[in-house]
Structure formats: C-alpha cells, structure tokens
C-alpha cells in the first residue's frame, strides 16, 4: 500500500524530487570522473567514460522518473493541462465545441428515449402478441 502512495506523492512533489535527482546524478558523475582521472585518463575522456557508464544523464533521469511515478497518468495530466490552456486561449472555439457537444448529447438522449419507449419496452396492453384479440372482443360486444 505504501508504494502507490509514494508514487502519488511523486506527482505532488515532482520539482523537489527532480532537484534531488539532479544533485544525486551530478554527485555520481563527479565521483565517476574523479575515479577515471585517477586511473590516468584526461579530463575530457574521464567525463565521456563516466557519462557512458551512467548511461547518459537524460536517459537516467527518464528511467528514474518512470520508476518512481505513473508515466501514463503523468502523460494524461500533461495532455489535460495542454487542452485547458488551448481552450482558454481559443475561447470562441471552446464555446462552440461545448455547444455542439451539448446538442449532440441532447439529440442522442432524445432519440434513445423515443426508441426505448417504442421498441424496447413492452406495450401497455394485455396480450399484445395475440393477433386479432381486439377484433374478437369487438365482435362479442356487438
């Protein structure tokens, strides 16, 4: 139960966790560079080999972010924020789209109600499946 809560917390404290990750990766990179320089490499070669050993800074960051959070949820939230910004910027389009969607939902509900009452629900007559029942009752009444 703590893992999902930790992942949810990573969504809420993303900037702080990213700063901590940057600091940790920088420390690992510096230690690897020093280690390579002590092995007799030039500073440029030591940095290059340290980056290769870490797998690249950005790749390592992305792997860590994916492991600590929910990438699919983060992507959905990012898409929703983008959509909200776009709709806020294009207010006329947003109003038009909302009206069209409202009309579509209203029309669909109306068509469903009519078809449901006519085709799906049974008719409110006794024995509607028996043909000619009403005509036989009319004949007895005459």
Digit-coded pLDDT (tens) for 55-81: 878 888 888 777 777 778 888 989 999
String of DSSP letters for 114-128: HHIIIIISPPSSSST
Cα 32 to Cα 25: distance, rounded to the nearest angstrom:
10
User: Of 65, 77, 62, 60, whose CA–CA distance to 26 is shortest?
Assistant: 60
**Are the CB atoms for 26 and 77 separated by under 8 Å?**
no
Q: At what angle do helices 14-38 and 2-12 cross, to 10 degrees?
A: 90
Q: What's the half-sphere exposure (Cβ side, CA atoms, 13 Å) at 57? A: 15
Angle at 37 between CA 35 and CA 43, to 5 degrees: 130
pTM score: 0.45
Digit-coded pLDDT (tens) for 87-117: 899 999 999 999 999 999 999 999 999 998 8
Tokens of 65: 């972010």
């Amino acid at each position: 139960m703590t893992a999902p809560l930790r992942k949810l917390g990573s969504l809420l404290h993303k900037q702080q966790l990213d700063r901590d990750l940057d600091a940790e990766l920088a420390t690992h990179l510096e230690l690897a560079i020093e280690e390579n320089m002590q092995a007799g490499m030039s500073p440029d070669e030591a940095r290059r080999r340290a980056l290769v050993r870490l797998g690249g800074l950005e790749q390592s960051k992305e792997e860590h972010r994916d492991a600590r959070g929910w990438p699919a949820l983060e992507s959905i939230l990012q898409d929703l924020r983008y959509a909200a910004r776009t709709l806020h910027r294009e207010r006329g389009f947003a109003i038009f789209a909302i009206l069209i969607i409202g009309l579509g939902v209203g029309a669909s509900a109306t068509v469903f109600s009519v078809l449901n009452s006519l085709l799906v629900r049974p008719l409110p007559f006794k024995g509607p499946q028996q043909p000619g029942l009403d005509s036989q009752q009319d004949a007895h009444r005459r």
